[in-house]
């Protein structure tokens, strides 16, 4: 009995001292880390030196944490301009790994890691997985792509660090993945939400009910935006508890998750410093207000980041978490500033469409958003799969359903949406990051 209660306490935190440190101490330590980082980059790296000099800032200007706003921003373009290794701050013989981003928004970018960088990446994941109850007893299937993409190897080393048994399936060959999941008693999985939905479908076609025929209990889903509505669909269809996992290759890779409370993503204060700014004015927004995330990596050696505008839209959550961790939390990412569609002058994020759509009980979680420009007007078409039991031969029933979805969309998005109902299984499926938006507009 005693042993059991001790192991439960150990399970709760990976590094309790750091994870539950009082705010005052966190601020003191973050300032110390920031000052050392900036002094080092100004002295040792031409890119950072020139950027700071152009803004007239010197390391001595950083006297408080708030002084971080005096520093210049960094952009994805800086990475491209300095490709491949001009932004590296360690010599190549100290670099033990490269990764290349998946290129969602253009030319892929290269990142590098020292041995210590790989260590804190796994440490971040170990804290995250522990906060969700994953440990030695678990078998973790990693169905993110392995290779240049950070997802597979990132989740892999994090799960190994907490002592879980890792099943490195990568993506693809879904039927085989389901067999292995059953044979090896997989309890947790990491993949994109769209791939997990695909897996649920393939399992169903094989006559496997994930809830009854496997012992899968937790899914760490990320690498692309998804909504609370999608979480509900996934949980109802599979019986697993789904957690949001976030990261990007410039930070290291996937590293941060929600805890068991599932109310925002914990960001370890000793690894990453977060700001949220208005994407247009670059002014900081108040806690709880949405804006663009700006990150500073406080202890990265090979490839640091200072005030990097990541384009992801979120907010810093002001209220403390019930789990007792004192690290800051950011809200679920609702999209990227460059994901936003402007439809007849109105801003629409794909996540708003997903959120509205998944409130409608007849629809499946597969959809495509197509934008055209017809006679100088934007036309948004939403193709939606309908559950087999909701499909009807009666034309008027189908027309009513289509109208109902169109009305809901209009009500919530303030934009007219043309809905096309599709048969279950007819829209594309995705193994890695999904591509659900096709923007065919041209502006000649």
Q: How far is the CB of 156 from Zn ion (least distance, A)?
A: 24
Q: How far is the CB of 357 from ligand ADP (least distance, A)?
A: 17
Q: How many other C-beta atoms lie within 10 A of the C-beta of residue 377?
A: 10
Residue labelled with tokens 């509205």: 356
Which one among 223, 298, 321, 357 touches ligand ADP, defined by CB under 6 A?
223
Size of the site for ligand ADP (CB under 6 A): 18
Q: How far is the CB of 317 from Zn ion (least distance, A)?
A: 10
Q: Is the dihedral of CA 363, 368, 369, 370 positive or negative?
A: negative
- Euclidean distance between CA atoms 65 and 155, whole angstroms: 31
**Nearest-CA neighbor of 68 among 308, 425, 383?**
308
292 binds ligand ADP (CB under 6 A): no
Which one among 41, 74, 186, 248 touches ligand ADP, defined by CB under 6 A?
248
Closer residue to Zn ion, CB minimum distance, 139 or 259: 259
Omega before residue 84 within 30° of 0, cis: yes
Q: DSSP secondary-structure letter at 321?
A: P
Token pair of 273, please? 């410093």
Token pair of 36, please? 């050392």
- Euclidean distance between CA atoms 299 and 244, whole angstroms: 24
User: Which partner, Zn ion, ligand ADP, none, binds residue 333 by CB below 5 to 8 Å per kind?
Assistant: ligand ADP
SS3 172: coil
Q: Decide: 254 and 153 in contact? Cβ < 8 Å.
A: no
Q: How far is the CB of 3 from Zn ion (least distance, A)?
A: 26
Closer residue to ligand ADP, CB minimum distance, 133 or 222: 222
Burial readout 119-144 (b: 16 or more C-beta within 10 A, e: otherwise): ebbbbbbbbbbbbbbbbeebbbbbbb
Which one among 41, 310, 321, 369 touches Zn ion, defined by CB under 5 A?
321
Closer residue to ligand ADP, CB minimum distance, 266 or 422: 266
Q: How far is the CB of 262 from Zn ion (least distance, A)?
A: 8
Angle formed by the axes of helices 228-238 and 350-357, to 10°?
50
Token pair of 28, please? 């003191």
Which one among 14, 21, 89, 101 touches ligand ADP, defined by CB under 6 A?
101
Which residues neighbour 273 within 8 Å (Cβ) at sequence distance 6 or greater? 30, 34, 65, 68, 295, 296, 298
User: Which partner, ligand ADP, Zn ion, none, binds residue 246 by CB below 5 to 8 Å per kind?
Assistant: ligand ADP
330 binds Zn ion (CB under 5 A): no
259 binds Zn ion (CB under 5 A): yes
Which one among 225, 291, 350, 432 touches ligand ADP, defined by CB under 6 A?
225
Which one among 224, 228, 235, 261 touches Zn ion, defined by CB under 5 A?
261
- Residue 172, Cα to own-chain centre: how many angstroms? 21
Closer residue to ligand ADP, CB minimum distance, 249 or 296: 249
Q: DSSP secondary-structure letter at 74?
A: B
Task: Pick out residues in 331-360 that bind ligand ADP (CB under 6 A).
Answer: 333, 336
Q: Decide: 255 and 128 in contact? Cβ < 8 Å.
A: yes
Only one of the segments 121-129, 233-241, 315-323, 402-410 lies at the binding site for Zn ion (rule: CB under 5 A); that segment is 315-323
Task: Pick out residues in 105-124 that bind ligand ADP (CB under 6 A).
Answer: 105
Note the residues at the interface with Zn ion (CB under 5 A). Answer: 259, 261, 321, 323, 325
Note the residues at the interface with ligand ADP (CB under 6 A). Answer: 101-105, 222-225, 244-246, 248-249, 310, 312, 333, 336
């Amino acid at each position: 009995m005693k042993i059991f209660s001790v192991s439960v306490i150990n399970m709760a935190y990976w590094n309790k001292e750091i994870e539950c440190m009082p705010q005052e101490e966190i601020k003191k330590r973050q300032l110390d880390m920031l000052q050392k980082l900036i002094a080092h980059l100004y002295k040792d790296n031409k890119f950072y030196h020139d950027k700071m000099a152009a803004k007239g800032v010197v390391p001595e200007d950083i006297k408080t944490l708030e002084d971080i706003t005096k520093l210049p921003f960094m952009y994805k373009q800086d990475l491209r301009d300095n490709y491949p290794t001009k932004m590296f701050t360690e010599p190549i013989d100290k670099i033990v790994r490269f990764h290349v981003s998946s290129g969602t928004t253009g030319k892929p970018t290269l990142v590098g890691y020292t041995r210590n960088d790989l260590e804190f990446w796994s440490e971040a994941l170990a804290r995250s997985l522990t906060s969700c109850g994953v440990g030695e007893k678990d078998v973790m299937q990693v169905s993110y792509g392995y290779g240049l993409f950070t997802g597979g190897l990132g989740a892999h080393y994090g799960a190994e660090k907490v002592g879980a048994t890792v099943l490195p399936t990568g993506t693809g060959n879904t039927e085989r993945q389901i067999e292995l999941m059953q044979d090896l008693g997989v309890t947790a999985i990491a993949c994109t939400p769209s791939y997990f939905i695909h897996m649920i479908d393939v399992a169903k076609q094989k006559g496997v009910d994930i809830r009854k025929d496997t012992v899968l209990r937790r899914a760490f889903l990320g690498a692309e935006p998804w909504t609370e509505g999608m979480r509900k669909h996934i949980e109802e269809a599979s019986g697993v508890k789904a957690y949001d996992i976030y990261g990007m290759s410039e930070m290291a890779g996937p590293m941060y998750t929600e805890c068991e409370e599932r109310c925002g993503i914990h960001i370890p204060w000793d690894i990453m410093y977060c700001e949220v700014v208005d994407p247009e004015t670059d002014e900081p927004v108040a806690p709880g207000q949405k804006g663009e995330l700006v990150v500073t990596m406080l202890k990265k050696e090979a490839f640091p980041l200072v005030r990097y505008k990541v384009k992801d839209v979120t907010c810093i959550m002001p209220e403390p978490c019930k789990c007792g961790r004192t690290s800051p939390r950011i809200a679920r990412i609702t999209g990227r500033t460059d994901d936003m569609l402007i439809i007849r002058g109105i801003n629409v994020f794909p996540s708003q469409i997903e959120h509205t759509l998944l409130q409608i009980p007849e629809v499946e979680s597969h959809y495509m958003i197509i934008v055209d420009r017809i006679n100088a007007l934007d036309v948004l078409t939403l193709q939606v799969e309908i559950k087999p039991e909701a499909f009807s031969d009666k034309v008027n029933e189908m027309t009513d359903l289509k109208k109902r979805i169109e009305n809901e969309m209009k009500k919530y998005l303030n934009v007219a949406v043309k809905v096309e109902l599709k048969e279950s299984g007819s829209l594309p499926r995705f193994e890695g990051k999904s591509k659900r938006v096709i923007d065919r507009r041209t502006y000649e």
